[in-house]
């Protein structure tokens, strides 16, 4: 399978993923070791203080990380994700998570992820490490 076919399979998988769909997460960009996911911060994503729920931001981070780490066509699963929440986004704002793989070995993938607001201000940062298995992605055609 070519890179283009792998990227298409990942995109289709994200589009069908029930959890991502429930949050409105979209995979906007994908290339080897790099992914961008976006979602609109809605009122349903607020915590008890009325600010962004950390779980919603984490979900966006995790989707971008998963796409970047799996872009090589083999299964990569999260081992650890560390998040620093910098500020809460504004209601209705589109958030952009950019994941860049900064290290890859036969068995590990490490990504740095930044969540940005519409004006480019930093909302959150994360570092994620995934375990790279030898098996091919199950949804590849």
Concatenated DSSP letters of 74-87: EEEEEEEEEEEE--
* Percent of the chain whose predicted confidence (pLDDT) is above 90: 90
Residue 141 belongs to a domain: no
Count structural domains, the chain.
1
**Backbone φ and ψ of 88, nearest 5°:** -85, 140
Q: Are 122 and 85 in contact (CB under 8 A)?
A: no
Q: Could you give the CA distance from residue 59 to residue 54 in angstroms, rounded to a whole number? A: 9
Q: Quick check: helix, strand or coil at residue 97? A: strand
CATH code, domain with 75 = 3.10.129.10
Taking only the tens place, the pLDDT of each residue in 29-50 is 999 999 999 999 998 999 999 9
Q: What is the pLDDT of residue 141?
A: 52
Q: What is the mean pLDDT of residues 49-72?
A: 96
Does residue 35 belong to any structural domain of this protein?
yes
The tens digit of pLDDT for each residue in 121-134 reads 999 999 999 999 99
pLDDT tens per residue, range 75-91: 999 999 999 999 999 99
Domain residues for the domain of 73 are 3-136
Q: What is the pTM of this model?
A: 0.95
Mean pLDDT value across the chain: 95
The answer to whether 32 and 68 are in contact (CB under 8 A) is: no
């Amino acid at each position: 399978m070519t890179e283009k076919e792998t990227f298409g399979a990942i995109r289709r998988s994200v589009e069908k993923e029930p959890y991502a769909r429930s949050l409105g997460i979209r995979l906007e960009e994908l290339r080897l070791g790099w992914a961008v996911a976006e979602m609109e911060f809605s009122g349903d994503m607020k915590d008890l203080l009325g600010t962004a729920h950390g779980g919603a931001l984490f979900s966006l981070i995790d989707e971008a990380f998963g796409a970047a780490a799996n872009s090589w066509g083999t299964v990569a699963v999260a081992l650890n994700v560390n998040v620093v929440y910098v500020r809460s986004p504004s209601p209705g704002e589109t958030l952009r998570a950019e994941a860049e793989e900064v290290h890859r070995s036969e068995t590990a993938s490490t990504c740095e992820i930044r969540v940005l607001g519409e004006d480019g201000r930093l909302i959150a940062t994360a570092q994620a490490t995934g375990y790279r298995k030898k098996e091919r992605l199950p949804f590849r055609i």
